[in-house]
Structure 1
């Protein structure tokens, strides 16, 4: 009988230990995905499929920066392992791979999951499992719901904020012209259009597309028929290229003004091939240093990391984005401290105050989980994407679009954020 009680006691203790380890409480090995020497995180990315152009470069660039940090001692003595899962930009696949990351791999956090339609479907699952959901690769306003989704934080500029900034430029430089819109048939397109119309009022004509149908001929034809002189695009890179190329084929030559998420010139050039000169004059905006600005100290740092740890990949704006995400995540880990917990990480991000490569600040606070606060306008001139003017910030409501004049900070000498 004593032996039976002894066995039952051992079983009970083992069950209690398992429950504790899966609860996310405590530090070190009692937190999922965290040991004394390692931190396991994961992501879902379109490595293949309709959004792979350009976007497939993001996560490998983040991993390259983590490898650089790991080679220099890691964060509080822990090395970061980044598991990248291909979801093909298919929401059903996203749910499968995120469940695998959380339930099988037991990742500490999900970092920079990409896509509005894809990531929307895993918000409730990540919340239920209390998994930090950091720096989503999309500007949907859905990520900024701290009361409903306390563990989710954005990274990209809110699409409505971006729409307001781009529309303000159009209002100032294209006065009296017929402005039209083509956007993705989800929150990406809807939020962008909302920002545009806050500034310009109703657009003259609007069209939408779905990523499963790579034909925008009817949409471009309708915009041409409507007499559009300026076409604002809320498109992923493949559909930006399709829109520009299709318009040229039908003799339609509006001024294109494009969301940052679909405007990386290197990606567009590759997609358009011989038709790449059609990008000349394209207007967009961004909130990170451009890969071609070789005098920028952040680009110098990222070039060094890219050369050493990213298997010879080209440093384009997608790679800059991926490394910027990774830098912010390392800042967050440093701020969370050595006794790493999920709640501690979320609290550290909400405390905010992070400075990095961004041209404008990130907004993080207890009541604000949105990402970057604004953008600077860019234009393609002579086959190169360059900034002009100053960065601007605004809100996603009726606030004014205002210039932001504080200079960006330089990176630390060793390229790794210090513990706070």
Structure 2
């Protein structure tokens, strides 16, 4: 049988929480308020995002881009006659604040779902709360393997490529093209860094030296010094954009010039260029990867669509990969709502996502099923050359275990003529 919501323990506390959240009961289309956040004319969803704080660079542009795509859809009548309202809460990338704002979204605003909450350390702390209140927890903005636990968290789904999958793909490139070089690692001191390193070491074995950082301390001088002292020739980074820029800048100051290979989440060139300012040329030669069209690919029909939406509904914000990401999340959420049908319930939405069949801008497969909530499953490598970030080679896919890294040859779908996914 398809996995459904896990039965909750019958305690007064859980019963009270369920009473606060409402039940999926019947008739989302009736507008009677039986489904939290859903009326006959509207759907209310919320998110937590670092609009300020140590992870705000680049990431603060994601949720406004998602909202812009929703506004574009709303201007054409919405989804099954309902318009989407997206409430964005700033959590400053602080786990305690994340818990506070998510509780407000669920208990006070009574959102239908949490969409694309950002951050491994932040979102981890709200998983149990969202499960207890039976709130769909969709397309988390992090590649942690924690989101892919359908037995434990049946309402949580990832979006980003799993950091272990990404680590395997990046490490395979290093192994193939940089054989014999001393490979080292710097990562965030949480599941982001640990999962990335696990993938890297599945391919390369133990790295020569490894360091970590915490986002509350914007100084990576000791770490870069240690990696230079260790004779590292390749440094693989699992870093958010601000710490990628810090790493590049700090290395330059101590005349340390390894080949940097950076996780996609910290490698958007537009964001790094802003962070580095006059030192932006330090990004030259940086190797990374992605699973969505790159923002500078003017010929890509998805980029053409997103630029149109950005101009009309996002104040024509400076266009970068964060905007591409945010609009791609919005597109997938609209696909999910279309598939769930007019009689919208939380359980119906979960079922529609698990049935999958979604095609969109991604260069890799979406791996949603009753047994897999992980999100995208592959990457294509990119390089910064001449101040431009471009893809090379072909997309690859793999798993978080010991499976091979293999070429993925299915091309992405073209966007619909009107830019809005049709009802299934």
Q: Tell me the SS of whatever aligns to 1:84.
A: strand
Contact 1:237–1:262 (CA<8 Å) still a contact in 2?
A: yes
Deviations 1:382-407 (A, max 9, x none): 00000000000000000000001111
The answer for the alignment partner of 2:241 in structure 1 is: 237
- Deviation, 1:288, is 0.1
Q: What is the DSSP-based 3-state SS (H/G/I as helix, E as strand, rest coil) of the residue aligned with 1:153?
A: strand
Which residue number in structure 2 is paired with residue 180 of structure 1?
184
CA-CA distance at 1:25 after TM superposition: 2.0
Residue 25 to residue 165, structure 1, CA distance change in 2 (3 Å)? same
Aligned mate of 2:385, from 375, 381, 399: 381
Does 1:325 pair with 2:311?
no
TM-superposition CA deviations, 1:227-275 (whole Å, max 9, x none): 0000000000000000000000000000000000000000000000000
Q: Is the 8 A contact 1:20 1:30 kept in 2?
A: no
Which stretches of structure 1, 4 residues or more, deviate above 3 A after TM superposition? 18-21
| Equivalence for 1:120 | 124
Partner of 1:401: 405
Select which of 317, 338, 342 maps to 1:313: 317
Count how many residue pairs are aligned between Structure 1 and Structure 2: 403
Shift of 1:21: 7.8
Distance 1:182 1:219, change over 3 A: same
- Structure 1 SS opposite 2:167: helix
Kindly report the root-mean-square deviation, in angstroms, between the aligned alpha carbons of the 2 structures: 1.0
Residue 20 of structure 1 and its aligned partner are, at CA, apart by 9.9
5+ unaligned residues in a row in structure 1: which ranges?
1-17
Larger Rg: 1
2:23 corresponds in structure 1 to 23
* 1:35 matches 2:39: yes
Q: 2:262 touches 2:287 (CA, 8 Å); kept in 1? A: yes
| Residue 279 (structure 2) pairs with residue 278 (structure 1) | no
Q: CA deviation at 1:19?
A: 5.2
1:9 corresponds in structure 2 to: none
Other structure's SS at 2:129 match:
helix
Shift in CA distance, 19/98, structure 1 to aligned 2, threshold 3 Å: closer
1:195 corresponds in structure 2 to 199
Q: Residue 27 of structure 1: CA displacement? A: 2.4
Unaligned runs of 5+ residues in structure 2 are 1-17
Is 1:263 equivalent to 2:267 in the alignment? yes
TM-score, scaled relative to structure 1: 0.95
The answer to whether residue 102 in structure 2 is matched with residue 98 in structure 1 is: yes
With normalisation by structure 2, the TM-score equals 0.94
- 2:363 equivalent to 1:372: no
Whole-Å separation in 1 of the counterparts to 2:154 and 2:244: 33
Is the contact made by 2:143 and 2:163 (CA closer than 8 Å) also made in structure 1?
A: yes
Correspondence for 2:55 among 31, 51, 55:
51
1-structure distance, mates of 2:184, 2:364: 28
CA distance in 1, matches of 2:160, 2:80: 27
